[in-house]
Amino acid sequence: MGSMAVLAADETFDTLKEKQYEAKREIILKAAERVFARTSFRKASMREIAREAGISHATIYRYFPDQQTLFVEAFLRGVQEIVRVIDRIMEQGREDLLEAVAEAFVLFLFDNDHYFKMMSNFMLEGEVAPPLYDKINTIARSLMNRFETVLTREGIAVPPRVLIHSFFSALNGILITFHDYPGRDRAQIRQHVRRLARLTAAVFKRGGTIEQN
């Protein structure tokens, strides 16, 4: 009776099975994040991820049909978290909104290095099936929409999507360029990329009214 007492009043075997399924799926996703962080998408294997999760190679296919699906699901978790971080900043009504968003974006990826490596792997070599691209495009659009809203609030007159892509590329360029900055420790690199992100945002604000050719 002791163990049964903690169950919800409306708990059933079906809901309990669903919770167990989701908990196991979460373990596999976290294991996949660790594997994808230390190796490329092409080199990672379902067998390695299964071993990292502590399950059999056959069992992992009960939760994810293939490696591409697992990679996309793990990758999307990171993008969704970035979106939530940006949403919280947008709710604060800050005067340095663009700088704050730029800083938060680079620091999130810097502090969560596995997501940065997954994003880099995906951008460089992530070939996935069309249905999975739809999922990626949906969440990517939600991120770009946040950038568009921020730029619009800053009164920037350049057509938003063009500037968004430039802004996104610039921030990722900072991370790629200084990820392994020689002669600096991790804390020094973190401070440097933070400064560069804020400077980049300030430059975009000043140049945001330049007309396109």
Q: What is the pLDDT of residues 153-199, one digit of tens each?
A: 888 876 667 888 889 999 999 999 998 889 999 999 999 999 999 99
156 versus 2: the higher-pLDDT residue is: 156
Angle CA 159–72–58, to nearest 5: 175
Q: What is the pLDDT of residues 86-145, one digit of tens each?
A: 999 999 988 899 999 999 999 999 998 888 887 777 676 666 777 888 888 888 889 999
DSSP 179: T
The Cα–Cα gap between 164 and 48 comes to: 37
Q: Are 144 and 121 in contact (CB under 8 A)?
A: no
Domains of the chain: 67-207 (1.10.357.10)
Whole-prediction pTM: 0.81
Q: Measure Cα distances from 147 to 125, 160, 171 in Å.
A: 25, 9, 12
The Cα–Cα gap between 121 and 99 comes to: 26
The Cα–Cα gap between 153 and 83 comes to: 17
DSSP 93: T
